[in-house]
């Protein structure tokens, strides 16, 4: 019996909530069918609304400004990062210059080696042709 009465009470609560939801849905349907006309503001009301809007915008702007302000530590870190980048760029430039100089030296040595080989072969041919003439 206690179980039946408990179930009946819960059933009544559910039915009451369903009725409440149906009434709310009907009200929403009436409102959506006949939307209220837009409220016409007087000059003073519009001025007050605009003033409040401007105040809230200024507050939001100030909050954003305070969030982007750098702390001294962030400035130091930014400067250290900038110095590191400059140093890295200068090291890379120095390495490139050294590589270019080394390539020039290697090219010079290769050309000189070819010249010596060519002059050695050419002189050898001249010597053989001179010895044949003799």
> Residue 19 corresponds to which tokens in the numbers above?
């009725």
* pLDDT per residue rounded down to tens, the chain (134 residues): 788 888 999 999 999 999 999 999 988 888 777 776 778 889 999 999 999 999 999 999 888 887 766 667 777 788 888 888 888 888 888 888 888 888 888 888 888 888 888 887 655 544 444 444 44
Alpha carbons within 13 A on the beta-carbon side of 19:
6
For residue 34, give the 3-state DSSP assignment. Answer: coil
Residue 134 lies in a domain: no
pLDDT value, residue 14: 94
Q: In this predicted structure, what is the pLDDT of residue 71?
A: 67
Q: Is residue 91 part of a domain?
A: yes
Total domains, the chain: 1
Residue 119 lies in a domain: yes
Domain for residue 44, yes or no?
no
Quote the CA–CA distance of 79 and 73 in Å, as a whole number.
10
State the pLDDT at residue 84.
84
Range of the domain at 105: 71-126
- 107 in a structural domain: yes
Nearest-CA neighbor of 44 among 32, 34, 33, 52?
Answer: 52
- Asked whether residue 88 is assigned to any structural domain, the reply reads yes
Residue 105 located in a structural domain: yes
- Tell me whether residue 121 is in a domain: yes
Give the whole-angstrom CA distance, residue 19 versus residue 76: 66
Q: Which residue has the tokens 């507050």?
A: 59
């Amino acid at each position: 019996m206690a179980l039946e009465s408990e179930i009946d009470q819960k059933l009544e609560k559910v039915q009451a909530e369903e009725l409440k939801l149906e009434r709310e849905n009907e009200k929403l349907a009436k409102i959506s069918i006949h939307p209220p006309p837009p409220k016409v503001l007087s000059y003073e009301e519009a001025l007050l609304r605009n003033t409040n809007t401007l105040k809230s915008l200024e507050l939001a702007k100030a909050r954003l400004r305070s969030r982007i302000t750098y702390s001294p530590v962030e400035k130091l870190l930014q400067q250290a990062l900038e110095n590191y980048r400059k140093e890295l760029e200068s090291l890379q430039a120095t390495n490139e210059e050294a590589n270019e100089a080394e390539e020039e030296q290697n090219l010079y040595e290769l050309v000189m080696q070819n010249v010596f080989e060519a002059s050695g072969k050419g002189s050898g041919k001249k010597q053989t042709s001179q010895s044949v003439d003799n």
